[in-house]
């Protein structure tokens, strides 16, 4: 809107002549057009993207530490069989990988971010399989839906992390 200098009426931006007093308003400065939204880039990603990103990275580290603790205490438990100890070693290694990815995410390491994307795609695939078998299982035993639900949640979480990694991608290339 512009204001007529003569009668102070509000006139549309495109007015050349005041519709009330017929004063020439073609020389009146027009309001600056509202700036178009900047091209989408991760630097102006929604505010919650980076906090979520760091929260998940932190979660990878915490759950990794828990896995190592679980693995080491399981492997060294008295009476643990060689097979159980081997399995616990595998759990510890998984924990180590989780911590490495978590730290890589915080440091915005491009290689580890890619590893994380693949890891999440793998999670989606495995969880999808779990979801299908959980649905099938729920027709047999009641608890099956819980298995399906937990797989659905891990699928959603993995898809969310892939989204976050894509959303924060170009920021790390700077
Ligand atoms: Zn006027």
Domain that holds residue 157: 117-165
The model's pLDDT over 128-158, given as tens digits with 9 standing for 90+, comes to 999 998 888 888 877 778 888 989 998 999 9
The model's pLDDT over 69-83, given as tens digits with 9 standing for 90+, comes to 988 888 887 776 888
Lowest-confidence region among 1-5, 12-16, 71-75, 166-170:
166-170
CA–CA dist 98, 65 (Å, integer): 8
User: Which residue(s) pair with 2 in the sheet?
Assistant: 11
CA–CA dist 90, 96 (Å, integer): 10
Ranges of beta strands (E only) in the chain are 2-3, 10-11
Q: From the CA of 106, how far away is ligand 1's center (Å)?
A: 61
pLDDT of 37? 58
For residue 148, being part of any structural domain is answered with yes
pLDDT of 174? 44
Q: From the CA of 4, how far away is ligand 1's center (Å)?
A: 5
The model's pLDDT over 30-89, given as tens digits with 9 standing for 90+, comes to 877 666 555 555 455 677 888 888 998 999 999 999 999 988 888 887 776 888 888 888
For residue 133, being part of any structural domain is answered with yes
Read off the pLDDT of each residue in 115-130 and give the average, rounded to a whole number: 92
Categorize the per-residue pLDDT at 103 as very low, low, confident or very high, splitting at 50, 70 and 90: very high
Q: From the CA of 24, how far away is ligand 1's center (Å)?
A: 8
User: How much is the mean pLDDT over the chain?
Assistant: 85
Coil, strand, or helix at residue 73? helix
Q: How many CB atoms lie within 10 A of CB 11?
A: 19
pLDDT of 4? 93
Q: Residue 173: pLDDT above 60?
A: no
pLDDT of 136? 87
pLDDT of 143? 78
Q: From the CA of 6, how far away is ligand 1's center (Å)?
A: 5
Most confident of 73-82, 99-108, 141-150, 165-174: 99-108
User: Residue 170 — φ and ψ, nearest 5°?
Assistant: -70, -25
For residue 58, being part of any structural domain is answered with no
pLDDT of 145? 84
For residue 95, being part of any structural domain is answered with no
For residue 161, being part of any structural domain is answered with yes
Instruction: Give me the number of domains the chain comprises.
Output: 1
Residues having C-beta closer than 5 Å to ion ligand 1: 4, 6-7, 18, 20-21, 23
Find, among 120, 98, 130, 129, the residue nearest to 166 by Cα. Answer: 120
What is the pTM (predicted TM-score) of this model? 0.61
Q: From the CA of 17, how far away is ligand 1's center (Å)?
A: 8
161 CB-contact burial (10 Å; exposed 0-12 / middle 13-18 / buried 19+): buried
């Amino acid at each position: 809107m512009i204001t007529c200098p003569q009668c102070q009426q509000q006139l549309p931006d495109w007015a050349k002549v005041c519709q009330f007093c017929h004063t020439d308003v073609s020389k009146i400065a027009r309001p600056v057009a509202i700036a178009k939204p900047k091209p989408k880039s991760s630097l102006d990603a929604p505010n919650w993207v980076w906090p979520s990103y760091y929260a998940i990275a932190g979660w990878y580290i915490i759950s990794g530490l828990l896995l190592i603790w679980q693995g080491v205490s399981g492997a060294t438990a008295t009476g643990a069989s060689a097979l159980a100890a081997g399995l616990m070693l595998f759990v510890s290694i998984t924990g180590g990988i989780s911590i490495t990815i978590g730290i890589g995410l915080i440091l915005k390491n491009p290689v580890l971010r890619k590893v994380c994307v693949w890891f999440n795609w793998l999670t989606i695939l495995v969880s999808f399989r779990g979801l299908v078998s959980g649905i099938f299982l729920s027709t047999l035993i009641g608890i099956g839906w819980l298995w399906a639900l937990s797989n659905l949640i891990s699928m959603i979480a993995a898809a969310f992390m892939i989204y976050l990694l894509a959303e924060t991608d170009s920021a790390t290339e700077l």
